[in-house]
Structure 1
Amino acid sequence: MTENRSRRQQAAAQPVTFCGTVGLYAEAAHDSTKYDSAVLFLSPWGLEEMCTRKLWRDLAERLALSGIASMRFDYPGTGDALDRGDFAEGLAVWEKAVLGAAEELRRLSGAARLILVGHGIGATLAASFAPKLGTVEATVLMAPVISGRSYLRELAAWSKMVDEGLGLRKDQRIADHVAVAGLVMPDEVAAEIKKLNIEALPTPPASRVMMLERPARDKEVALSKHLAALGAKVTRLPYLGYDDLVSNPTLAKQPLAVISQVVGWVSEAATQSKGRKAHLQASEVPGTARLEGPDFVETPLRFGADDRLYGVLCQPRGQRRGATVICLGSGYDRQAGWARMTVETARYLAAKGVASLRFDGADVGDSPPVVGAPEQTLYTDYQVDDVIAAFDLLDGLALGLAVLAGRCSGAYLAFRSALADDRCKAAVLVNPFTFVWDKDEAVDDALRYNARSLEDYGRRMVSGDTLRRLFAGRIDVRSAVTSIGKQVARRIAGMMPALMAPVSKYARLGEATHALFKRLALRHMPLTLIYSATDIGLDRFRFHFGKNGEGLKRYGNATLDIIADADHNISPPAAKAVVRERILQAALKAGEPDGARANTHVNDAPTFPAGA
């Protein structure tokens, strides 16, 4: 199976829409064994969902090669799904989406039987909703939530740790709702999840159950024994690599052994086809699925060579104006963005008449990796190829006047892509870590150790929260000291006399940075730089351009905004508003399309390419 994956470029899953949400259907490989079973994935929620997004895609691709079709989707109010103003029905809103996904999966695959694969609270929903989903012949429960009450307490603790890591003050944290990483669970849903408890299910969710149990979780062990006592054939396995998977989307390590175990077990549990309806071919699946909001219409699509990239085109319902914004992801966050910021930004822009495209780069979220590319693609030119494919897509849709926008690694990618393709008419860079990557610095180490600016270290040292974390052993002192040492060295290098510059690596990086800024200035391409006041990237920017950005004056195309009281991820609402407004201004100033484009309405949208 691994050999086939290495030889054959995978396409992104086929997007479909139902129940106000987006589903991704992965059809079974045409040359594989045919099954009368298909897999429905039930996702976890919050940060755990962001961390497991790639896991779902990897499982779906491997199952497809084994001959088993699958569907994964977003619950209403999460990911790419529509936001509902009314959750009065509580958990029933999510339940209807699960039922809709099951129906759509059966229709597309022709399979009569379902196998449920759930993670976290998704595993709990699988166990709870299985009796309502028709024939469910097997269920995989990965680290299931046993008690909803305990789960909400764990979320509160997890949320505090994330906020502390971001450096958010108590008054900047979401304390009046169930929330984590800026994602807020609807109160009505949270109230019903609090009541969930599956440790005494009256019937098993299926006759065969695979339980992936986390270490030292007695209630998961007890659930396995309870399901076996009810008559289910239970396969119990340790969930190896769970902690490395769910700690951080950018650092998430895929549990390869567990993936192989799940694929093998599901393949054995699935029922082979005996004259059932054939799988729908990709060409038979409706090609243009849409979600409609009050001010926007969104089209999830595949594009690029071999349809390998997944994204969402968001267009205004009324007259379009300005340039199209290409939103680039940060790290390995899915294209919806940290705390759904990219989704919210796209819909805000549409309300102002501006179209946008957000997408997952190769091996990020729902876009498969490129065959032959290295595993680590951040801060490499491989990602620029994906942006060029996005430009090509917009050109084909008569939306090609484009602006790039991104945060952190997405800002770096926007900068490098603007240099590589003059179809970029403006760029908005939010908290870029650097502009020229230091080849002596390993990307993996830079991501893992989360360096901070000297100002941020100073602010944190006088914080009571920092002292508590230090005494609890939750701070990597060695990494912090190393980071501070590098920054001090960089500042000393910045004070070197000009004659000493050639012997300074930092000075050479500075010269290369200025050369690239000069290239964009010669093109008169507007460049908007936005930094949080204590961001590590601002420290590096000041090394190149001075404390107040005075070095930018030589480049008439560049402007600088510094946002006080904002973290690296732009969590506070006021900071988000500043970023959205700057992106909107850049799109409008980039120029109106020609007459034919300016009068384009969503209802007269251009024809999408095959596979979109």
Structure 2
Amino acid sequence: MSEKKNFQYIAAGAAKGAADDASASEPTDAVPCGVVREPLVFGAAGRQVLGWMHHPSPATRQGRAVLLCQSVGFEYVNAYRVFVEFADRLAASGYPVLRFDYPGTGDSAGGQAAPSPLAEWIEAVDWAARELRHDSGCDELVAIGFRLGAALAALAHAHGAAIDRLVLWHPVAAGRQYVRELRAVAMAGAQPPASDGSLEVAGFAFAAELVAQLRAIDLTQASWPALRDALIIGRDDLQADDRVVDRMRAQGIPVTRQSHPGFLQMVCEPPDTRIPEQACAAIAQWLASPSVAKPGSAREFGQAERAELAIGDLREQTWLLAGERRIAGVYCSASDATTKRAPVLILNSGTAHRVGPAGLHVSIARALAKRGIPSLRFDLGGIGDSPALGSAVTNQVFPAGAVDDVFAVMDDLTQRLSCRRFVLLGHCSGAYHAFQAALQEQRSRIDEIVMINPLTLLGAVAMSAAPAETGVGRVAPWRARLKSASNYAVVRAAVGWLRRVRVGLRVALAGVAQRLGLRADGAAAVSLQAFFRRGVRLSVFVASRDPGMLRLRTEAGAAWALGLRRGLIDEYWIADANHVFSTEASRARLIESLCARLLATEHA
């Protein structure tokens, strides 16, 4: 979870109560009968992108295909689950659907070091449109773009992409306004713009060149000579801006303009994400208009279990693992890897999909691969691109089948790669799942677990029952009193020191009480002692400004202190970092420390 709700930049809608969609529903991920998800790679060398096809049943397949263009940054991560389910629904209605990550984002190759990243993103929309037409055999293609993805789809069509119809969903029509919103989010996270104009927004870096290119976006000056028609969906809690509508109509393009609720629920924190049912229904109805397009010859699908892309000297393979579980995972390794090192399995953080908070897991995986350590970042069942089995509840921070999924992935890699030893790595809730897997595993295949900012050893029960932190350990009351103080950083450091002193005193007192027989070991302490008996190494990386260690050390009591004294636990503290390592500098410190730790031990 981020320290601030990262959608605060839309506070303009608060005047109307930020009207939520009363019909909005939780993501279910019950993949409709006959729909098949399949990973694929396309694009130019060095800038290949990862996409996911959602194939409809051959019996229902239509001649109209749908290309989903997602947004970037935190809007991409937070709304990811919405678009997975929306793609499934569209495919169930007979539309072949493709969604994908732009170069340098998500699981795709490339990066912002390119001279013109925005141009590459627009070009990627063209690639995706060509790929979708080729794979589906459809004569008609509709692009549905969300936020910046809407602008990219519109600009791609203006540059000649083979898109027949457009849906612009809460579109970024004016780049200057969008950059102002990004700056507001950055400031809310105490990350003011750098002197060169670059931004760090909720953990995502926007290089100065990209910021300048984004600022230049202006759909009111674009032309769409071959566009058949368009649907533009705005928010119902903001005043309508019809300049793009007017621009299209002036060019003779039929435009349908609608407003629907639910935007906030799409881009809030992943565990709280909801499907905006009204908007989805409106898009589906508009798509269903009569079409003369006939289904063409689609390529054979449903057999591919992997897609491979090259990233410099690295190779990433997207696999569907564990048989019918179809767990989506990306295996990252050096291209010429001959290492026998144990792979690092990277588990989901919360319900963010496998890329992790602001792409943290991708950065970790690629840094490890450059040092010769392979990894697999994957989605637990009911998260990201992995479907839930049976009637399992989805989009859960602590899914009931998480440990079974970990074991199933280990079994698959044992057969696929002849792996016999593993390292588990998890951030936040992923740390808990890694701990539980090591505790329950009966075949001694786990050498080490790496916990990054763990919050609990007891899972959902402990998190729901934990009281809110109060007193001097909370920074918020101090912040409220010191909004205008120039020495806020000093006070924040002092508050952090007081918090650590309090933790130390509570742990010490708990140890004394246990030795005197005044306090029995709690469930977390018992679990931790059982873990120690397994002989699995435990490495813990903690952000200096993360409150999680207070909860965890209080849970574990003297058992944690005992583990530290006996060398059963290694703690590594990352300076000037928060829970999600939302700055490039803190992220770099974490990754360097993490790589050094894993390189120090030969996990074969």
TM-score (norm 2): 0.82
1:236 paired residue among 248, 257, 263: 257
Distance 2:29 2:108 in 1: 33
Query: 1:592 deviation in Å?
Result: 4.4
What is aligned with 1:481? none
Q: Is 1:16 the counterpart of 2:34 in the alignment?
A: no
Q: 1:381 to 1:126 in 2, by over 3 A?
A: same
> Which AA in structure 1 matches 2:42?
T
What is aligned with 2:529? 518
Distance 1:406 1:512 in 2: 21
Distance 1:466 1:21 in 2: 48
Distance 1:465 1:568 in 2: 23
Q: 1:381 to 1:363 in 2, by over 3 A?
A: closer
What is aligned with 1:580? 591
> Which AA in structure 2 matches 1:79?
G
Q: Is 1:420 the counterpart of 2:431 in the alignment?
A: no
Query: 1:522 deviation in Å?
Result: 1.6
What is aligned with 2:213? 192
Q: 1:224 to 1:217 in 2, by over 3 A?
A: farther
Distance 1:325 1:307 in 2: 20
Matched-pair contact (CA < 8 Å) for 1:35–1:68: yes
Matched-pair contact (CA < 8 Å) for 2:55–2:96: yes
Q: Is 1:347 the counterpart of 2:366 in the alignment?
A: yes
> Which AA in structure 2 matches 1:273?
K
Query: 1:548 deviation in Å?
Result: 11
| TM alignment of 1:541-556, pairs within 5 A | 541-544=552-555, 550-553=561-564, 556=567
Distance 1:334 1:438 in 2: 19
Q: Is 1:37 the counterpart of 2:64 in the alignment?
A: yes
What is aligned with 2:397? 378
Q: 1:351 to 1:497 in 2, by over 3 A?
A: closer
1:357 paired residue among 376, 386, 408: 376
TM-score (norm 1): 0.81
Matched-pair contact (CA < 8 Å) for 1:321–1:588: no
- Secondary structure at 1:237's aligned position in 2? strand
Distance 1:63 1:555 in 2: 56
Q: 1:26 to 1:248 in 2, by over 3 A?
A: same
Q: 1:582 to 1:440 in 2, by over 3 A?
A: closer
- Secondary structure at 1:289's aligned position in 2? strand
What is aligned with 2:313? 295
- Secondary structure at 1:433's aligned position in 2? coil
What is aligned with 2:427? 407
Distance 2:550 2:517 in 1: 19
Matched-pair contact (CA < 8 Å) for 1:146–1:220: no
> Which AA in structure 2 matches 1:184?
A
Question: Residues 184-240 of structure 1: CA distance to partner in whole angstroms, max 9, x if unpaired?
Answer: 234333322211211344447732212111135445334334434543333332231
Query: 1:574 deviation in Å?
Result: 5.2
2:544 paired residue among 528, 533, 546: 533
Aligned CA RMSD, in angstroms, stands at 3.6
Query: 1:353 deviation in Å?
Result: 0.6
- What is the aligned-residue identity percentage? 27
Query: 1:47 deviation in Å?
Result: 0.9
Query: 1:368 deviation in Å?
Result: 2.9
2:137 paired residue among 88, 98, 110: 110
Distance 2:461 2:112 in 1: 48
What is aligned with 2:569? 558
- Secondary structure at 1:439's aligned position in 2? helix
Query: 1:374 deviation in Å?
Result: 1.6
What is aligned with 2:15? none
| TM alignment of 1:300-311, pairs within 5 A | 300-306=318-324, 308-311=326-329
- Secondary structure at 2:61's aligned position in 1? coil
- Secondary structure at 1:282's aligned position in 2? coil
What is aligned with 1:146? 173
Distance 1:374 1:253 in 2: 14
Q: 1:589 to 1:563 in 2, by over 3 A?
A: closer
Q: Is 1:93 the counterpart of 2:120 in the alignment?
A: yes
| TM alignment of 1:388-467, pairs within 5 A | 388-396=407-415, 397-421=417-441, 422-437=444-459, 439=461, 442=464, 456-458=473-475, 460-463=476-479, 467=483
Distance 1:250 1:4 in 2: 14
| TM alignment of 1:127-146, pairs within 5 A | 127-133=154-160, 135-146=162-173
Q: 1:62 to 1:420 in 2, by over 3 A?
A: same
What is aligned with 1:327? 346
Matched-pair contact (CA < 8 Å) for 2:271–2:395: no
Q: Is 1:313 the counterpart of 2:331 in the alignment?
A: yes
Greater CA deviation, 126-135 or 113-122? 126-135
Question: Residues 99-126 of structure 1: CA distance to partner in whole angstroms, max 9, x if unpaired?
Answer: 2111111121112321000011111121
Aligned residues: 557
Matched-pair contact (CA < 8 Å) for 1:297–1:314: yes
Question: Residues 108-151 of structure 1: CA distance to partner in whole angstroms, max 9, x if unpaired?
Answer: 11123210000111111212221445543321110001111111
Question: Residues 391-416 of structure 1: CA distance to partner in whole angstroms, max 9, x if unpaired?
Answer: 12221222342101111111111111
> Which AA in structure 1 matches 2:138?
A
Question: Residues 538-590 of structure 1: CA distance to partner in whole angstroms, max 9, x if unpaired?
Answer: 11233245699523247643222233322111234554345334543554466
> Which AA in structure 2 matches 1:462?
W
Q: 1:16 to 1:496 in 2, by over 3 A?
A: same
Distance 2:371 2:364 in 1: 11
> Which AA in structure 2 matches 1:571?
S
- Secondary structure at 1:146's aligned position in 2? coil
Greater CA deviation, 136-145 or 392-401? 392-401
Matched-pair contact (CA < 8 Å) for 2:334–2:369: yes
1:259 paired residue among 280, 292, 296: 280
Distance 1:46 1:570 in 2: 15
Q: 1:391 to 1:300 in 2, by over 3 A?
A: same
What is aligned with 1:482? none
> Which AA in structure 1 matches 2:455?
F
